Structure 1
Amino acid sequence: MPAVSLLLNIVWILFGGLWMAVGWMIAAVIMAITIIGLPWARAAFNIGVYSLLPFGQQAVDRDGVTGQHDIGTGPLGLIGNLIWLVLAGWWLALGHLITAILWAVTIVGLPFAWAHLKLAGLALWPIGKVIVPI
């Protein structure tokens, strides 16, 4: 990890990233309690790790990386994302949005606000995404 990404990730964790990562992990645990929620739990856990260290990584469509469609990038992924949106996505996105607004008040916080906005979009539609290094 480059030094700039490491520094940004440390500041990120200290000033808001940790509590959002905890929110993602809570969502993952809640989803993992039931057998039906396991696909969402995996996605929430992966994005929780990403939300802990977002600089130096990005979320992209999985079929763009692998070059082929799978169950998460097709019609079942669409249904899964809609269920996710109703059950957990909106409140995680709201948490990222509120944190982004708080960061955007300062000029220094604009990169962090932008990262929270990207995570808010990911919170609404996580199935079929994969986290890759930049």
Structure 2
Amino acid sequence: MAVVRLEFTPEPAHVRTVRLVGVAVARRAGVADDQLDEVRLAIGEACARAVARHQRQGIRDAIEVAFSDGDRYLVKVIDHAVSEPLFTADDDEQQITIDVSASLLQGLVKDLKVTPLAKGTEVRMAWPVKRRSR
């Protein structure tokens, strides 16, 4: 099983790069072509959510991303922000981004798991792969 790991500073400009790498790894892993747009969008939303969580709390630690191509194509996005209530009285643009990203992920990814960590969250997404005959 091949694993590609990335870390990036919590800046929106880096999300595009992560999406590009993620789709390239997905294509190499054998994700069906008709699912690559879903993969691209889901990686973008998960990373945008992580960036917004970091920025909202003023965290400069890197966001971690791992892509692996075992029996399924697996993407993990780990942020280091403490958990907050979904909605607060003083919702701002970053909190709205977090909430919308979470909702979009639920609609995009059938195999989605969001796990709270001691400090942060892990968004785990998986897609089926078709192995090429050799």
Query: Which category describes the TM-score, using the shorter chain as reference length?
Result: 0.3 to 0.5
Give the TM-score normalised by the residue count of structure 1. Answer: 0.38
Give the TM-score normalised by the residue count of structure 2. Answer: 0.38
Which structure dedicates a bigger proportion of its chain to helix? 1
Which structure dedicates a bigger proportion of its chain to strand? 2
